[in-house]
Amino acid sequence: MKTLKTCLSGLALSVACATASAGEVEVLHWWTSGGEAAAINVLKQEMEAAGHTWKDFAVAGGGGESAMTVLKSRAISGNPPSAAQIKGLDIQEWGELGFLSPLDEVAAAGQWDSLLPQVVSDVMKYDGHYVAVPVNVHRVNWLWANPEAFKKANVEVPTSWEQMIEIGPKLKEAGYVPLAHGGQAWQDATVFEDIALAQGPDFYRKAFVEHDEATLKGDTMIKVFNTFRKVRDLIDADASGRDWNVATSMVINGQAAMQLMGDWAKGEFTAAGKTAGTDYICAPAPGTEGMFTFNIDSLAMFQQSDDSRIEAQQDLARLVMEPKFQETFNLNKGSIPARQGMDRTPFDSCAHASMDAFTASAESGSLVPSMAHGMSTSSRVQGAIYDVVTNFFNTSDMSAEDAVDKLARAVNASL
């Protein structure tokens, strides 16, 4: 079969030629909010422009838990999509089960090894072979703030958790929900890991990467849980089950003063036509200046038997690493390109801050994988942490001492 490239390099692109080489690519993802949909649409358009057919397989649900459940049932029934948004250690799990197809040829032709930071390429490889392609790098430890709220309440954007808790009553008096939040396990875990990170990258790593028992149930973790409980006072009574992007819109429309969320939240500000630095403020989550919890989104390829589908997969992987895609996707998504050496000019001040923090934190040892977003540990351990964290957050009768004990036991049991 002729490849699409061969067709395009001919004198004219005949319809027959394009049809013979075009393939269908079915892509499972959970990018359904305004900013997310704008971002994935960039890939759809590029694939269609290359002559392929895009079959969208969107499964709504922030953090991707529902999408992963649907993916498992499709794979078990022997009918996985060509590409799926899976990331972090989940890639290793799918690789071990033998579902993924290698991308080594595209990777070698595109020089991925020299274009990707090693912290990124390591995640994309299973057993030394590329099986996934990175679309971005998200920073999780961000605080998003509405400047108007801070002006009205006459308080400063907090740089420590003590300040964060202290300004709560003043923001409430000024008519704002201090912290917009959605009561879902992954969102609770996102806030929890921010508080843990403020205890330093070594503590964070010991707890969420190494799962050191003494750290999981030590005094510092007790302190983290106690702070976490106080943060709950900053949240409104209707937070239960609220989607993350609805929480972001509360900051955008001036109902709430802040949100703690990865920079996919910036995609929502962008989609609403807001400008970083004037309409909204991005600041490191309290106490985490110079640190960076990374969350890399990637598309992994599932083995297919049809030649045209295999070709479409390879083309998808190639296109994702092109500078044009990395720029346009990330401008919409709120993240920074995974590909190094990109022009920074089109990006805003928050993206510049993220790029600088990524480089600086890698040098200082403060670049850590996000636990809440599947980068630091297996989905089993992550699920165990989620359970304890979210139970603690939603009940008043569990002490921080009980919580750390439960945490250490739950993690140990799922290792």
Which residues contribute to the site for ligand BGC (CB under 6 A)? 30, 36, 62-64, 138, 244, 264, 295, 297, 373
CB of 190 to ligand BGC, least distance (A): 9
Closer CB to ligand BGC, 136 or 314, in the complex: 136
Alpha helices per DSSP H over 126-184:
147-153, 161-173
Q: Pick from 109, 114, 106: which is nearest to 133 by CA?
A: 106
Q: By three-state DSSP, how is residue 141 classified?
A: coil
DSSP string, 118-136: HHHHHHHEETTEE-EEE--
Left (φ > 0), alpha (ψ -120 to 50) or beta: where does 54 sit?
A: beta
In eight-state DSSP terms, residue 26 is E
Residue nearest to ligand BGC (CB): 264
CB of 262 to ligand BGC, least distance (A): 6
**Residues of 113-148 as b/e, b for ≥16 C-beta within 10 angstroms?**
eebbbeebbebbbbeeebbbbbbbbbbbbbbbbbee
Closer CB to ligand BGC, 83 or 171, in the complex: 83
Closer CB to ligand BGC, 30 or 204, in the complex: 30
Residues recorded for the chain: 415
CB of 30 to ligand BGC, least distance (A): 6
CB of 371 to ligand BGC, least distance (A): 12
Distance (Å, whole) CA 70 – CA 329? 25
Distance (Å, whole) CA 189 – CA 205? 15
Closer CB to ligand BGC, 184 or 314, in the complex: 184
Are the C-beta atoms of 232 and 398 separated by less than 8 Å? no
CB of 229 to ligand BGC, least distance (A): 24
Closer CB to ligand BGC, 64 or 284, in the complex: 64
Closer CB to ligand BGC, 308 or 354, in the complex: 354
Closer CB to ligand BGC, 137 or 317, in the complex: 137
CB of 388 to ligand BGC, least distance (A): 20
CB of 60 to ligand BGC, least distance (A): 9
